[in-house]
Structure 1
């Protein structure tokens, strides 16, 4: 990468994005030294304009940001860093420094919750009970929820339709996990078909 640190008096803005949910978590600044430290340690280090020093996110809280990828913009003066966050990103304890009214990418978070239930089963978890019944039952549930969604769309209230659609998406995510298919795979497929 050919990052232009000179354009911003030695600093470039850095957008931090959750690698799995794609939610924007925060904005910080890096100088060249912070960038090099980020690369060498694989943890995000900023240049703090208020403290006038390097600052590794999580150095006090333990909520480190582990780098999964770094991209630069077309002008080479802004970075996008996708991360795995070890906890809340904001110093207020919120998942993001931006006060959005809801997590716009919750569907990705739900995919992660389902994956976690597969890897770390929780007693009495609906996901684990459904998984225990096998692929045929999971696929059957998707079919049932699909029919209920159609019925709600044609004959019931908007609230009923929203609830049935939510059930359908949830069960489809469980089926996708069972089959080893991610939302990323579906998104890439849809993007390829969009042409």
Structure 2
């Protein structure tokens, strides 16, 4: 905390909040030393309100808190990047982000939805039905979708290929969750392989 450039903006640092799962930018706030200390101590993202001249924890009235996962300062030490897990909409207008068209990682968002379906098992959900049928049935479905995707890649048009690829990705996410894994676990393997020779050939 002492290494940050608090003196540049009257003791305040802009804090960009990002959804840790989808990487979508959720909001921008400001932190002073006390707000940063409280954020680290409580695990809930807390800011300094310039209009109210006091600390405020996001969600203190709405309940839509931001659960802290990580904080990183930029190269100049005068801006913070906060990764958090939002518990409900971040924007006061009821949107996920204060930036309506902020890009995100939809595949990660879908993975989160699959995880909720696995926990909650809502009636009438296709994903719930897959989980209740068990891993063997889900794995069979992934195999079928894989074959259909391969065939579409050879004998069908682009729209058909994209449709089959989408089905394959979705069912693969369900299979990973059925094994207690997530998209992040598969991505971590890809990251570990990045830049490494593949089966004796050139790096990917």
Flag whether TM exceeds 0.5 (same fold): yes
Provide the residue aligned with 2:99 in structure 1.
Answer: 98
Partner of 1:153: 153
- Report the 3-state secondary structure (helix = DSSP H, G, I; strand = E; otherwise coil) of the residue aligned with 1:80: strand
Once the 2 structures are TM-superposed, how far is the Cα of residue 133 of structure 1 from its aligned partner? 2.3
Which residue is 2:107 aligned to?
A: 107
- CA deviation digits over 1:140-169, x for unaligned, max 9? 111111122222233333322222111100
How large is the Cα RMSD of the aligned pairs?
A: 1.8
Distance in 1 of aligned mates of 2:66 and 2:47: 11
TM-score (norm 2): 0.86
1:127 is aligned to 2:130: no
1:39-188, aligned counterparts within 5 Å?
39-100=40-101, 104-188=104-188
Tell me the SS of whatever aligns to 1:6.
helix
Partner residue, 2:201 = none
CA distance in 2, matches of 1:110, 1:165: 15
TM-score, with structure 1 as normaliser: 0.90
Q: In 2, Cα distance between the equivalents of 1:37 and 1:179?
A: 37
- Once residues 41 and 132 of structure 1 are traced to their aligned partners in structure 2, the CA distance between those partners, rounded to angstroms, is 38
Question: Partners in 1 of 2:90 and 2:192 — Cα distance?
Answer: 33
Paired with 2:40 and 2:190, the residues of 1 have a C-alpha distance of: 33
Give the CA deviation at 1:193.
0.7
Distance 2:180 2:130 in 1: 16
Distance in 2 (alpha carbons) for counterparts of 1:41 and 1:128: 35
Within 1, Cα distance between the matches of 2:63 and 2:129? 34
- Identify the residue that residue 15 of structure 1 maps to in structure 2: 16
The alpha carbon displacement at 1:90 in A equals 0.9
Structure 1 residue 137, shift from structure 2 partner: 1.5
For residues 71 and 32 of structure 1, what CA distance do their matches in structure 2 show? 15
How far, CA to CA, are the matches of 1:48 and 1:66 in structure 2? 19
CA distance in 1, matches of 2:160, 2:86: 35
Q: Secondary structure at the match of 1:7?
A: helix
Are the counterparts in 1 of residues 23 and 104 from structure 2 also a CA contact under 8 Å? no
Aligned residues: 194
CA shift, 1:135, in A, is 1.9
- Once residues 133 and 44 of structure 1 are traced to their aligned partners in structure 2, the CA distance between those partners, rounded to angstroms, is 40
